[in-house]
Structure formats: structure tokens, C-alpha cells
Structure 1
């Protein structure tokens, strides 16, 4: 019987079965997507349609946000996305929020596709989760997604969410975007967030570290070859050396704590390990977890995969360590402690409410 941390234990039978199924199906699909705009749009529509089949949790609500940000009196980038809040959000503590940046290779997916993660984060922590709908490549190459992520962070600040209560999180390409956003915040002098969580982050879009690794692991989801082909459409005119893009060579001093979770069976593992070393060298607190035998962004399966459930519980532990004062799971806050950020500030940004 395995002992020690959950991420060091041998993968469960269920994990092995799901990985094998994905290796036969999803990986083959991803590997064959042609690298031109028309086929990408078709694949994007397929992914979005499939997301409608996901069974959402009945314990959260999803509130759509479309905010042109005209009330600021100066030109600001509009913000679109969705709040994911618990059913009792009106009585929840207003001390922070999670800004979640979805993955999908900077080309696919949306806040809807990643509700299995965002709803779990909201339920575990009690914090509202804002998932922006950032612009996608190849129509909008980098730095367009980063500009939208910065706008989303400023949007939270404008609505009274304290920076010391904001946790930035993301998976895969969204993990790259979450790290890039953290660096941009610190470089430009915006108030520093409480921490950053990265699930299977795509740290190095040149794929120089992941290409050798694909000969050593059987990643059931992606290949470095496919990732590099996509990266050429993402980088745009900024180039791979842009400091906002090249995370391994960017300075990481005076940044908040990081939690990195990566699967032991994915080609992106060397990138996460190299990034953790860069953070350590800069003196930034960083916890790296390599989950034995797990696939890319296995946290998406937190309802069916025991390892994913444990990883999300560990994420909750990290968030509570950087955002003190969160109520324990399942406990109600004291009367009069406040409301959710949009209710507390009287924002008119929300356009529509959708039960999830």
C-alpha cells in the first residue's frame, strides 16, 4: 500500500482506464487538427458544443458578465466572462476571489468548458470565481489574451475585491497566462495578488523542454509536436523572447507564492519543474507537486477521479494558506459579514443569471 503524499501514490485503476481511453481518442484528435484558422474554428465549435453535455453542479450558480467599463470615465478594455458562485453567495465573505484562466492551447475552450474546476474551487473555498472570456488565437495572438487577463484583474480591483484576497489560477495555456499575468502585475506596479495556482502549465511555448520528454512518457492527451505547431500561431509578432511570454527567463522577485500541480505522465512536466527552479532561485515560495502517473489537467475529472479530488483538496489548502480568514467548508459566515463582490458594489456588469 502506498504511503506519503497523495501525489506520490501509484495511479488508481480508474485513472489508468481513463488515461488509456484518452490516449486512443482525444490525443489522436488533437494531433490531427490542421494549423489554419478555418479548421481551428471548426474544432473550437466542436469543443464548445461538447461542453454543453457536462453535468454542472447544482450547488453553484453561474452569472454572466458583460461589462463595457464605461463608468470609469477613461478608455478601458471591456470585460466578459462569468462568475461562479455558491448558492449562498449573497451571504458569503467578501474578502477575496479567484481569477481563473481556462486552458485550451490559447485557441480553444471557454469558461463554460472549465466549470468542473471553477465550480469545485467555489464550493471548496467559498470564494466567488471569475473566469474571463479572453480573446483566442489565431485571430487574436499574444499579447491579446494577457491584455484581457490584466483587464479582468483590474475589474476585480475596481469592484472592491482586495488584491490580498485574490488568487490567480489557470490550467495548461491558462497556466501560462496565469503566470504571465502574475509577472505583469508585479512589473507594472498593480497591487500584488495573494497567490497563483497552476495546473499542468504550458510554461515554455518553444517546447524545447517538452520535445525530448515525449520520447520518455506516454502522455495520453497532448504531444510536444502538436503544442509547438500551435505555438507558432499564438506568438504573433511579439516573438518567443518577449519577457511577458518567456516565463523561464523572466524575473520572479517579489512575487506571491505559487502552487504547481503537474501530472507525472505528461510531456509538460519538465517545464513545470524548470519553472519551479526559476521561482526558487528568485526566492519566491513555490510548492511543486508531480502527481504520479497522472495526465494533463487531470483536475478536470475531480468528480470521478480520486487523484483529481485529492488535488483539488490540496489546492483548497494552499488557497486558505495565502488568503487567511476563509470560513471552514460547510460553515456559514456570521450575519452581516457582507455579500458577493457584485452585490456589495452594486455593479451593473452582470447581464443574466444562469443556474449551473
Structure 2
């Protein structure tokens, strides 16, 4: 299989073509049985010094009701910041709704190259404020995302901490694209070829995303940003993916700052393998681990800072470390 990002050229015309293809294919994606999806359009949401439109999908279980006072998952989809949508990621978002019993909000954030950074972060922050405005307590919110959405989820968590907003309960990252310079991934790809992602192609796409902000912007350069006193993190990476090194480096940075971070490296798995949770046992097990983490941080059973919980699937012990899950 050709690397996925070979199909997303690093120029605007190619990106728009790829986006149209993905959007058409996503029309076939249905939520899991037992999950209802409602489209959200709120044109006026307070976000910092301005008001922004919030759009996205609100997913709840058919028999569980909405119950926003119990908490919610804010899910930020991947796609290199240039393609995909909440609809493409329903296999993950609907599973999260079923597993956690919490509503899941997946915002439709603006994409590059038409809207380079910080537009996605502004939209993610508006979505977080929208949840707070709906009465969802920050202590019940878990921020999650995959790939570029994992980068956005981490950046949003940092922005919330820096600006003094009420902090979320925790953050979950699936195969996060942490280093947009792709230096770690390019080095890793010299040793082993990822069947799904080309690090050099990702770097070309990143130039469209970063825009005038520059790679050194602390909201983008997550490995060098300050990370003191953050909510707990769960990071899952595939053992065979080129972004594994980035997830490991970020877990190390979080641990070095004294934060609780669970890193899980899933042996033999590819980039964002959690999307296959309906058919792949390892992906389903990874989602079970997510449920455990969400329940621990939302339910108040959070382990002490500086530790990571061990499980039968191979979750590592020790801040920012992990072993390969079977």
C-alpha cells in the first residue's frame, strides 16, 4: 500500500482534490449501532476576544441521553490538518460514546491551506468554550484526537493551561503528529518504511499548515513548549508507524515536567489503528484502554502524578514510559 500522504500533494490544488475524494468516501461512514448523531451549528460562541461559529457532530448513545453535566469527550479528527471531517472519524467517536457513556463532540474545524494555523486551534478553543457554556464541567471533559488531531488536542490542552481556562480532566492522543518539522519521523523512516505515512510528504503538507506562524511557534512546537502542571495524558502509538518516535518523545517531555502520562506502544500496529476497532481485536483493546483512562480521570480515581497505570495489555509503568502492548 502506498503511503497515505503520497496521495495528498503539498500544494493547494492537490489538497483540494484529495479532500473532495475523502469527503465523497465519508458519505458511506455510519456511526456504530446504538449511537445517535446530531449536527451542531452555533453561529455565535465567545472565544477569547472574538466570537466564532462552532460546527460539528454531537454523538450520544440511544439509551443514555445527553447528560452533559456528567462530562463529554471533545474529539479532534486527524487528516494532516488538510483533509477529513467529523464524519470520517465516526468509527472512533461513536465507539467512545458507547464505551464511556459520555456525549462526544467532534467539531468541524477549519482546514489548511485555506485556513492555516492558528485557525484550527481557534476553532478547537471555541468548541471547548461551547462545551463549558452548555454546562459541561471542565472536570468532566476529556480532549482527544488522532494524528494531526492529536497535535491539535495537545496544543489545545496547552493553550487552556496557559490562558487560565478551567482545565480538562485529561487528554488522549492516538498516533499524534507531534513534530510538524518531521525531523524525528524522517530519521525513523531511514530505518523502516511506514506503509501508511511518508514523513517527507508530511513535511510538505506541514508547510501549508504552519503558514505565517512559523514552526517555532510554541503552540506548534510541542516538544519544546513548557508542559508543567498539565492534566493526565494517555498516548497510544502503533509499533510499526513512523510517528512512534514523536509520541515517545512527547511522553518523555511530559514526564520530565512531572506530569502523569501513560504511553502505550501497540506491537505490529499502524498509524491510527484505532479506526479499525470494529474488526481488529488490537484496536478494540486499545479503545478499552481509552475507556479505562477516561473513567479514571473523570470518575476521580486518578493515580498520583508521576505514575502510569499497568494493565494486562502492556501499558507501561513510570512517568512518560511504556512497553509494547500485545
* Structure 2 residue 279 is matched with structure 1 residue 310: no
- Superposed CA deviations along residues 285-323 of structure 1, whole A, max 9, x for unmatched, are 000001011000000000000100000000000000000
Match of 2:269 in 1: 294
| Distance in 2 separating the partners of 1:123 and 1:153 | 21
> 1:235 aligns to what SS in structure 2?
helix
Greater C-alpha radius of gyration:
1
- Cα RMSD of the aligned pairs, angstroms, is 1.7
Q: Report Cα offsets for 1:140-192 as digits up to 9, x if no partner.
A: 00000000000000010011100000000000000000000000000000000
Per-residue deviation, 1:220: 1.6
Which position in structure 2 is the counterpart of 1:42?
17
Distance 1:115 1:70 in 2: 24
Aligned match of 2:58 in 83, 98, 101?
Answer: 83
Within-5 A mapping of 1:1-356 = 24-25=1-2, 27=3, 30-69=5-44, 75-90=50-65, 92=67, 94-324=69-299
CA distance in 1, matches of 2:225, 2:153: 14
Deviation at 1:30, TM superposition (A): 2.9
Partners of 2:46 and 2:8 in 1: CA distance: 42
Distance in 2 of aligned mates of 1:174 and 1:48: 17
Shift of 1:117: 0.1
Distance 1:183 1:56 in 2: 30
Structure-2 separation of matches of 1:241 and 1:59: 44
**8 Å contact kept, 1:102–1:171:** yes
Q: Distance in 1 between matches of 2:46 and 2:212?
A: 33
The 1:283/1:71 distance shift into structure 2, 3 A limit, reads closer
Of structures 1 and 2, the one with the larger relative CO (CA 8 A, separation 6+) is 1
Q: 1:71 to 1:105 in 2, by over 3 A?
A: closer
Given that 2:145 and 2:172 are in contact with CA atoms closer than 8 Å, whether structure 1 keeps it comes out as yes
Cα distance, 1:48 vs structure 2: 1.1
Once residues 71 and 98 of structure 1 are traced to their aligned partners in structure 2, the CA distance between those partners, rounded to angstroms, is: 20
Query: What is the number of residues matched between the two proteins?
Result: 300
Deviation at 1:217, TM superposition (A): 2.3
**Secondary structure of the structure 2 residue equivalent to 1:94:** helix
How has the CA–CA distance of structure 1 residues 93 and 325 changed in structure 2, closer, same or farther, with 3 Å as cutoff?
farther
Note closer, same or farther for the CA distance 1:242–1:302 as it changes in structure 2 (3 Å cut): same
Query: 1:225, 1:34 → 2: CA distance?
Result: 11
Change (3 A) 1:189 1:131: same
**Distance in structure 2 (CA, Å) of the matches to 1:41 and 1:214:** 27
Moved over 6 A (4+): none
Length-normalised TM-score, structure 2: 0.89
Deviates more, 1:50-59 or 1:289-298: 50-59
Q: Answer whether contact 1:107 1:138 (CA < 8 A) is retained.
A: yes
Per the normalisation by structure 1, the TM-score is 0.81
1:91 CA drift (Å): 6.6
User: Matched residues in 1 for 2:140 and 2:10: separation?
Assistant: 40
The answer as to whether partners of 1:89 and 1:128 remain within 8 angstroms in 2 is no
